Structure 1
Amino acid sequence: MSSTKFSKIAQIIEKRIDEGEYPLNSKLPTHRVLADELDTTPATVAKAYKLLADKGRLESFIGRGTFVCEPSELSMAIQAPEDEADFNFSILQPCLHKNVLSLQKAYQVAGQQLTADLIGYTEHSGHKAHRQAGVNWAKRYGLEGGDVSNTLLTNGAQHALFLLINALTKPGDTIAVESLTYPGIMAVASLSGRNVVGIPMDGHGVIPEELEKVIAESKPTLVVVVPSHQNPTGITMPECRRREVAGIIEKHDIWLVEDDIYCFLNEEPIPAISNFIPSKSFHISALSKAISPAMRCGFVKAPQGQVTSLNAHIRTNTWLSSPINYIAATHLIDTGEAFEMAAIQRETACQRQHIAREILPQLQCHSSGYHIWLPLPESWKAERLMVEAKNKNVIVSSGSYFDVTGNEPDHIRLSLMSVSTEQRLREGLSILKALMDSDVNTLFPF
């Protein structure tokens, strides 16, 4: 039995799930029934079911059968590459082939610098030199007031979000986020039993008057914003709006988490919101977007009075982030190579944004970000386009995964950096454009 055959069966089943033929929580046909329908063997169907169970689309119970799972919004919005033939526009990451050689050398240096002290336990979330590297990284891109006493190390930005949400709120509390936001924030809130409320946005980010209204009506404990190259809209909040947001936070008994993971993509450094309210804000930066997702190095600048509590949470959660990653990261930051790598990624993003605007003329914005928030023709719904694009080996993220209100925005999010070359970028975007230009009612008259 070829792996191709059961993979094709799995694709048929997954398409039926996506199109609603097999609804969420419904029971699928038995192996034998589906095998007869598709002219294959029960063993092939069993392997297809197993493949989809590993992807989280199905769940099997002994004696009860196989059922359709409700997919995680995070896993659907950010789909790991499975086939090199795919044009994967769902992952926000650097163009990794540009960074491989520098990372190889950095980890060689890390290996040479290993000592007994560095590979043992340590206090304060990590070694002083590594915290200083985090201070230097964030300072370059607009953060003030960071030092080794108020900067903590985490296993990347996602771990930092999980840490702060669980340390600063309790189950049942409300967290205010941008009305269109990164699904990872919603995933943390859901897993932790926190409620989420959206703050309406305009072209400069969260609207101050709406933030005031949400605070008054929903009484959130915490506000989370992504001020630079916001995911998914791509909006970068100007300094004047940042000052307005800071002023509102200052007036209320509330914390701010500033997830500034894309700060290195700004043409010039923009002051962090945290600069204006250092006693009420937590600033997150990390190396996953500039260097590599594998380099799990996140930095949190916290109010001095919260450092001890956060260190206790980190010890309970992971004890400390891997010093080996931080030795390599510190070498890259101290030598300046990390900033050069970040600049190359920004230049690459600018080039790819230009290509996207050539192929997709409906794009109006000029951005240096990793992604675009693409409006769809009136005839297309985001969910349907996502399914049909996938049938053409083009993987995109539906706008519905980012909408806090549960609506389906008439947009999709496209990452421009995860496709390996500019040529493949053009090919994938051209396929997507041809699909969007087609009449969905003619293609699918039923």
Structure 2
Amino acid sequence: MIIFLDTVTLINRLDGLPLAVSIAAAFMRQTGASITEYLQYYQQSWSDLQSQSSPGHQYQHGNILETWLISYQEIQKRNPKAAELLLLLAHFDNRDVWYELVKGASHSRDIPSWLEGIISSGLSFKSHIKHLIEFSFLEAKQQEGSYSMHPVVQSWCHHVAHTENIAKSDQLRELALVSVGWTVPSASERNYSEIQQRLIPHTNHVCLERIDDDNIIVCGAFDGLGNLYKDQGKLKEAEEMYQRALAGREKALGPDHTSTLDTVNNLGNLYRNQGKLREAEEMYQRALMGREKALGPDHTSTLDTVNDLGNLYSDQGKLSNAEGMYQRALTGREKALGPDHTSTLNTVNNLGNLYRNQGKLREAEEMYQRALMGREKALGPDHTSTLNTVNNLGNLYRNQGKLREAEEMYQRALMGTEKALGPDHTSTLNTVNNLGNLYYN
């Protein structure tokens, strides 16, 4: 009878809120505490909470806070590192957190020792996560190795981190930003699109933070976030990230440092995508001069800018200039990286575009076929770079009057880009437009 009355009392104290009841039950299950004992802990935690709360900080359900505080203090006793990890995870988007994402914090210049141990291996990470799941602070998702946090728990964790130590709260925000920015994969990686789309909610979350832009690791993170937004067709957001990276790198490293020039070149690519060709050329010329001086004319980074300048000249209709850039980039990349490297194949594909624009359709087809075979082998048939060449072959076949073959290429490119990038991405819409032209013909 006493147990029943205590149970009713506890549920009433928690307002019957499922999340609070779940966390209380998890605590009792993990510690062996009785309901009567838990009620005593609850009453004590209420007093502690009132003494720790900052004035004016109000929550709709104060009783949930006592429930969490009891469990959080128990985790601090059992595994202090897991308690620290909980507060860090609250600084990511709450719906999908995984090991490789948090491991990105290893790039931080001031990674705390407790986190180093946790992310040293996937096994170590899971062993600490287990404590948070057991106390119902996290939930394991169906997707292997993915975890989620209730948004109210996330809000509470922010409050705890801020209350315990403002400097520590700032450090956690920076660690989350570095984790996301340095986890962004290059577009040359096989499954980059899936990973990038998975990272977008985290990117949107951490980009809201105002963090010291003079930190060169943070600047690198902003550069990575700019790449992600650019690849996903979010050009306005990409420009903001690149500008933050550039300002920080120029201040911390100087205008001619190779990392600064990386961002300069990235801005050139962005401006070209936005149709700001004059601004793009300024960025490319600055990057080229700086890279040739710092790295030499045949360095792969220098050749990246050479190839990008070829793209710009092609857009401007300066086809002879473009061909000179492409031939220089191709010769250098074949020598430095090999004929089948993805960077080499990028230039091969670009030459195909140039030859098509020049009316050299046979030479264009040779370039496209070489690029397609190489990209299918290196990246897979559904990678966006492969699909870009498929779309280009569609253009070529249309110019040659091979309308059935052109339609096959466009349909393949459309299905692939819709799946990889979504129906509203510029690459998808480009193929839609090409199909419209084909059907009109």
Fold conserved between structures, TM > 0.5: no
User: TM-score, normalised on structure 1?
Assistant: 0.26
Rg larger in 1 or in 2?
Answer: 2
Structure with the largest fraction of strand = 1
Q: Identify, as 1 or 2, the structure richer in helix.
A: 2
TM-score (norm 2): 0.26
